[in-house]
Amino acid sequence: MAEYVAKPGKLWLKGEKKPKKKKSHKRKHESDDEAAAADNAIEGEVLHETWRRVRDLVDVKGPVCLVSRTGAYIAAQDDGCFVEGVPGESEKRPPNEAEEYLGYTVGDEKVALKSGYGKYMCTSSSGDVVGRSDAIGTREMWDPIFQDGLIAFEGSNRRFMTVEESGKLMSTAEKVSDDAKFTLRTSKSKFKKAKTEVEKEYGKKLSNLEMEYVNRYQSFQDHHVIVTQKSRDELRGAREKGKLHESLLDRRAKMKSDRYCK
């Protein structure tokens, strides 16, 4: 039998209070950093702390900038034309006023871009991409095509927006070439859509949800909560059919002590 050896430590007298151990939050911080890194990996590279890659139509709303495949910003000019800037400049600095646009979603599938000069980007009859419109019409609407973190814009003339060798922006390509692929970035913070009360309730356990409804609406007798003893199978079926609230109301209506139901 092995000899027992007492573990050395400070002697605590009776009545003395031992100091509470401080909880380490290192693990929590590490997990938060890992989650942020994973989110950035999914959403794409974040530049200049605020400008993140747009991968979905919902993120087109608000301040955006357009970057060509060479890493150059697409800038608006005072004559209404759009040109490609210096290659690689987007990695060195955030966009300036001429390189920043306001993105809008039109319906469920189309987008519109408004330059810093207050004009909407559109395709002309000759295929030039210009910004001279004060309102959104058919020519100001673009069909965005997202793939692998990049975006292509199809104009109303059924041609794709491209950067020509001269650096000018045109809408003449019949197919999505490398010059027709852009990176769209937004400075709008990414947030998760909060669940509505209905969505939260549909995710709860039925027994807990019914108890919450009873506590919320039922008048108590002798300080006891009265819940129907009927099977909750009907609630399961009602939830699948989208009639959970109606079923809960019917069950509460049958309880005589419920003052809110007939």
Q: Where does the pLDDT of residue 244 fall: very low under 50, low under 70, confident under 90, or very high at 90 and above?
A: low
**What is the reported pTM?**
0.58
* Interatomic CA distance for residues 120 and 194, integer angstroms: 32
CATH fold of 52-186 reads Trefoil (Acidic Fibroblast Growth Factor, subunit A) (2.80.10)
User: For residue 136, which of 158, 159, 110, 161 has the smallest C-alpha distance?
Assistant: 110
Strand order in the sheet with 143-147: 143-147, 150-154, 160-163, 169-173
Predicted confidence (pLDDT) at residue 190 exceeds the cutoff of 60: yes
Q: Is the model more confident about 223 or about 87?
A: 87
Please list the residues that pair with 123 across neighbouring strands.
129
Q: Is the model more confident about 254 or about 177?
A: 177
Predicted confidence (pLDDT) at residue 29 exceeds the cutoff of 50: no
pLDDT of residue 87: 95
Q: Where does the pLDDT of residue 103 fall: very low under 50, low under 70, confident under 90, or very high at 90 and above?
A: very high
Q: Where does the pLDDT of residue 110 fall: very low under 50, low under 70, confident under 90, or very high at 90 and above?
A: very high
What's the burial of 206, exposed, middle or buried (CB within 10 Å: 0-12/13-18/19+)? Answer: middle
* Interatomic CA distance for residues 90 and 178, integer angstroms: 18
Question: What angle (nearest 5°) sits at the alpha carbon of residue 25, between those of residues 21 and 30?
Answer: 150
Q: Answer for the pair 73, 85: CB distance below 8 angstroms, yes or no.
A: yes
Widest CA span in the chain: 96
Q: Is the model more confident about 152 or about 232?
A: 152
Predicted confidence (pLDDT) at residue 30 exceeds the cutoff of 50: no
Q: Is the model more confident about 154 or about 13?
A: 154
Please list the residues that pair with 114 across neighbouring strands.
102, 120
63-96 pLDDT, tens per residue?
999 999 999 999 999 999 999 999 999 999 999 9
Predicted confidence (pLDDT) at residue 258 exceeds the cutoff of 80: no
